[in-house]
Amino acid sequence: MTPELPQAADHEVVVTGIGLVAGRLTDPEALFDHLAHGGTLIEEHPLHTDWGVPSAVSAHIDPQVRQNLEAALPAEAGPLGPAGVLAWHAAAQAWERSGLPRRLESDRGGVFLACNRMVMEPSELTALAGHVDFETGTFDLDACLDADDGPEPQRLRRIQPDTATARLADWFGAAGVMETHADACAAGGMAIGSAYRYIRNGALDVALAGGAESLTTLTSVTAFHGVGALAPSQGREPARISRPFDKDRSGFVIGDGAAFLVLESRAHAEARGARVLARIAGYAGVTEAVRMTSSTRDGSDYAECIRAALADAGLAPDAIDHINAHGTSTEANDTCEAAALHAVFGPDARIPVTGNKSAMGHSLANSGAAEAVLSVLSLRRQRVLPTLNFTEPDEVTRGLDIVTAPRDVPVRAVLSNSFGFGGQNCSLILAQAG
């Protein structure tokens, strides 16, 4: 029998708004429905084949959708980079759905954006290299800015993730705390977790928290292929490439996207009559430094993070009804995560496990935020989304209840994991509004 969830605390943290953009879709419910019907966002990228990269598929933002979002930016947003444009739309959507006034006008609001640092494209790197004196190790910035082949002077500031954080905070009047997280694949979850802690501790009443990435570029694809993280795509149907926890998994599919949640203290939300969608019940962020691209293979580091989140929520493992796994479809990550789930929940625990990246790709800093949004909708709809392409486990992933078709089950608490390169580990626990 599942134990009762703990009673509300003085500064209980609730979710009052969600927003998202992914593929051709620009709202969370449409994405949830698409995934519930076995849909995918993964397809051939219009430029990757021309570039000749080995991984020519991605979960990219549709070019027309991106163009429409750029056109819809208010003048006050100023110039934003590709990830910033996505962040603006998802954040504005979440804020509007929360029912908050357009401007908070309070120092008790904050913005927490996850977005990994800018990646320059080959043409820009080549231009910069022309102004480097490799003997002395110096860079002639003035000559670079004056040169015809140099970067546009304002571009570097525009594409810095901090620029979007500051402009969102100014637009919504929520500049009490501003944080930009670049914690690799765990950044989205850590941004939400940080906002949760500020509200729970009474320092903030409202926070806009989420992530955004625009990664389907030549530099990013080449870099991740170089470290062996991307699944090969030649001769394979795009929708069948990402296969979390399956014995034939071969790497992840890169993606773009943005997702945001509006978090509030329950007292603040109830005082204004807001609709409460869910609550953030627990969070843990744990760092380790085993290897740059993998953690302890017995899953002990991931297990430590999950146990810490459960302890923060005051929950026993059997209070979790669904696990939204990190599930990248890489051999190392899935092995570590499966071992951790066995360690925490038991070797034969029948908790439904979903790997959203099988259909959405891996958008790094955004993934944890997008999966948190989908977890909110699982709590609202009492429905668990499927994992695509899982057919047979290996020795380590055997025993997990990998969901392969939409499943209607009672869902009161969801564990959502994000485990990043460099040992950045994050677990969120989301629960019914209560």
Contacts 24+ apart (CB under 8 A), 153-156: 154/79, 155/81, 156/118
Burial string for 327-357 (b: 16+ CB within 10 Å, else e) reads bbbbbebbbbbbbbbbbbbeeebebbbbbbb
Q: Which of 342, 242, 204 is nearest to 40 (CA)?
A: 242
185, 305, 336, 426: the active-site residue: 185
Region of 361 (left: φ > 0; alpha: ψ -120 to 50; beta: rest) is left
| Neighbouring-strand partners of residue 261 | 18, 209
45, 326, 336, 426: the active-site residue: 326
Question: Could you tell me which residues come within 8 angstroms of residue 27 by beta carbon, excluding any fewer than 6 positions away?
Answer: 19, 20, 93
Q: Tell me whether residue 185 is one of the annotated catalytic residues.
A: yes
Question: Could you tell me which residues come within 8 angstroms of residue 398 by beta carbon, excluding any fewer than 6 positions away?
Answer: none
Q: Could you give the angle at the alpha carbon of 68 between the alpha carbons of 63 and 71, nearest 5°? A: 125
Q: Could you give the angle at the alpha carbon of 279 between the alpha carbons of 278 and 285, nearest 5°? A: 130
**DSSP alpha helices (H): ranges in 243-360?**
266-271, 300-313, 331-345, 357-360
Task: Report in angstroms the alpha-carbon separations of 304 from 117, 292, 313.
Answer: 28, 19, 14
Structure tokens at 421: 């390169």
Q: Tell me whether residue 34 is one of the annotated catalytic residues.
A: no
- Listed in order, strand segments (DSSP E) in 94-167 are 109-114, 132-133, 138-139
**181 membership: H or E segment, kind and range:** strand 177-181
The amino acid at 54:
P
Q: Tell me whether residue 305 is one of the annotated catalytic residues.
A: no
Q: How many CA atoms lie within 13 A of 215 on its CB side?
A: 32
Q: CA 126, 43, 328, 332: dihedral to nearest 10 degrees? A: -70
Catalytic sites, residue numbers: 185, 326, 362
